[in-house]
Amino acid sequence: MHYLGVIITLIMACSVVSADIYRSVDAQGNEVFSDRAHSSAEKAEQHPSFYRYRVRLKRVIDGDTLELESGEKIRLIGLNTPEVESRFTQQQAGGRQAKQWLNTTLRSPVLFIEYDQQLYDKYGRRLAHCFLENGDYINARLLETGHAMLTLIPPNLRYAERLIAAQNQAESKEIGIWSMPAYQSKTLADFTPGVSYRGWQRWQLTVKAISRGKQNTTLLVTDKVSIQIANRHLPLFDGLDRYVGQQLEVRGWISRRGEQHIIRLVHPSAIILL
């Protein structure tokens, strides 16, 4: 067992209820993880589910990333905060406030972290849920105070419903990012083909049709804009046909190739029916 160098204590978090995660294999042989059971799915083992590790914080890097005294970097699961200025990133609205809030909240260096199904991100950072000694769930607190955007990525869905509820609180109160002009919902009247839209976005769109491919399913909006879902994530989405002809708010990041803009989604929490 890997103890992150300076981890002192391993405790059983008996008070935590873990959502079941189901595993299946699609027609292309890809592993698919879902929080819903399907006929061909089997319950996935959640090895680190009930364990929290006592660690010591070295510093807050930004609103969603920590560095431990061991040197290990921790990326908080289920959310994204605006960027702070660094050698690699430009300052985004709300980034400084998110980092300040996290610095203030994590006054004690003692934290408890809990892993989910996927342990590392593509940058080699540990993915974790973070708790204070009193049990406060930091990931959820960042969302309910309006300092973060919900970003659920399978298979790390253990606290999905709790995180969704936390964001709903902030959004209904219009606090934090929900009050900032940079994160207000845009319509296609605001859209300019060929322009790069940086950072987390909210777009009001109407799906015209659905195109199904071997690897991806595409929700067609215009000849320049589409929503793309990898087929391995489709078990999470309850009937895409219901979105056709409906006005939606889609949340996430837009990638651009020439004048083509694609919003890639991995979880249905990024689609809001209007």
Domains of the chain, start order: 9-176 (2.40.50.90), 185-273 (2.40.50.550)
CB atoms under 10 Å from CB of 42, counted, come to 11
pTM for this one?
0.81
Closest by CA to 194, choosing from 124, 134, 254, 107, is 254
Q: Which residues face 226 on adjacent strands?
A: 220, 262
Q: In this structure, what token pair is assigned to residue 207?
A: 């799906």
Name the strand (E) or helix (H) holding 184: none
Q: What is the pLDDT of residues 165-215, one digit of tens each?
A: 999 999 999 999 999 999 999 999 888 888 888 889 999 999 999 999 999
Q: At a CB cut-off of 8 Å and minimum separation 6, what does 226 contact? A: 218, 219, 220, 260, 261, 262, 263
* Sign, Cα dihedral of 65, 66, 70, 71: positive
Active site residues: 75, 83, 125
With beta carbons less than 8 A apart as the criterion, state whether 163 and 79 touch. yes
With beta carbons less than 8 A apart as the criterion, state whether 158 and 49 touch. yes
CB atoms under 10 Å from CB of 8, counted, come to 11
Tens of each residue's pLDDT in the chain, 274 residues: 444 433 334 443 433 334 566 666 666 555 555 666 666 677 655 544 468 999 999 999 999 999 999 999 999 999 999 999 877 778 899 999 999 999 999 999 999 999 999 999 999 999 999 999 999 999 999 999 999 999 999 999 999 999 999 999 999 999 999 999 999 999 998 888 888 888 899 999 999 999 999 999 999 999 999 999 999 999 999 889 999 999 999 999 999 988 899 999 999 999 999 9
What's the first-to-final CA gap in the chain, in angstroms? 47
Q: What is the pLDDT of residues 136-162, one digit of tens each?
A: 999 999 999 999 999 999 999 999 999
Q: At a CB cut-off of 8 Å and minimum separation 6, what does 218 contact? A: 210, 211, 212, 226, 227, 228, 229
Closest by CA to 157, choosing from 234, 236, 270, is 236
Q: Give alpha helix (H) positions in the chain.
A: 95-105, 138-144, 160-173
CB atoms under 10 Å from CB of 194, counted, come to 10
